[in-house]
Amino acid sequence: MRLVCLSDQHGHLPDLPEGDVLVLGGDLCPIDDHAIPVQAAWLDGPFRSWLEGAGFAHVVGIAGNHDFVFEAGREPRDLPWNYLRDGAVGIAGVSFYGFPWTPILGPWAFEATPGQMQEHLAHLTAAPDVLVAHGPPGGCLDRTWRGERVGSLEVREAVLHHAPRLVVSGHIHESHGRARLGCSDVVNASLLNERYEPVFAPVVIDLPVE
C-alpha cells in the first residue's frame, strides 16, 4: 500500500504523487485567518475541490492546532475523506488511528495538559498499523529551530507501548524527516518550514500489506 503523507499545509494545496491512501496530519487551513466561518468556507471550497481532484481512492485526515473549525465541530460533514478524531478506520486490512491533540504551546485548538493527553490516549486501546498524530512523539522529530524538544511524552509512551508500524506527524515544521522510535517508523511530514514556506515534498511510504 502506497501512502502519500503530508502535514501542516496551512492552506497550501500541492500537486501530489500517485498513491493508494492520502494521509493528512493536520493544520490544513490557511494561516491568515483563523475565524471558524472562514475556515469552514475554505474547507468546503478549495480544500474539497483539491481532495476530489487528487485521484486517491482513500483519504485519511486529522485536524491540527490551527484548525479551530474542527475543534468547534463546524467543519463540512460530507468531505470525501475519513476524518479521525480519537478514532480509527480500516482500509484494505490496514488500520489508521487519528490523534489531533498536542501539548500546550499557546491559545490554539486541540491543546491538552499531560493528564488530558493521557485521557485522550485512553481511547487508543489496540495497536493501529498507522498512528496519525499531529504532534510528534517526545524526543523524536520534535526539535524546534531554537533547539527545544516540544513533542509529547505521552504520545511517545503510547508509540512505545502499542508499536504501530508507522507514525505520521507534523506540527514542528523544521523537524521534517524520518526516524525510528522503538519498533515504529516515524515521519514528520510537514509541508512548510519554520518560515511557513512550502519547501518540502509529500512523503511517500510503501507499507507492506500483511
SS3 108: coil
pLDDT, tens digit, 9 for 90 and up, residues 158-202? 999 999 999 999 999 999 999 999 999 999 999 999 999 999 999
Kindly report the length of the chain: 210
Nearest to 29 by CA among 109, 96, 88, 103: 109
Nearest to 88 by CA among 8, 186, 162, 4: 162
Stretch 63-84: mean pLDDT: 97
Over 80: is that where the pLDDT of 210 sits? Answer: no
Strands (E) located in 62-129: 82-83, 87-91, 94-99, 102-103, 111-112
- Residue 62, domain extent: 2-206
CB neighbourhood size of 93 (10 A): 9
Q: What is the pLDDT of residue 106?
A: 85
pLDDT, tens digit, 9 for 90 and up, residues 30-59? 999 999 999 999 999 999 999 999 999 999
Kindly report whether the global pTM for this prediction surpasses the value 0.95. yes
Over 90: is that where the pLDDT of 114 sits? Answer: yes
Q: Count up the domains in the chain and report the number.
A: 1
- Average pLDDT over the chain, rounded to an integer: 97
Can you give the CATH number for the domain in which 81 is found? Answer: 3.60.21.10
Characterize 131-168 residue by residue with b for buried, 16 or more Cβ atoms within 10 angstroms of its Cβ, and e for exposed. Answer: bbbbbbbbebbbbeeeeeebbbebbbebbeebebbbbb
* Cα–Cα dist 182/184, whole Å: 6
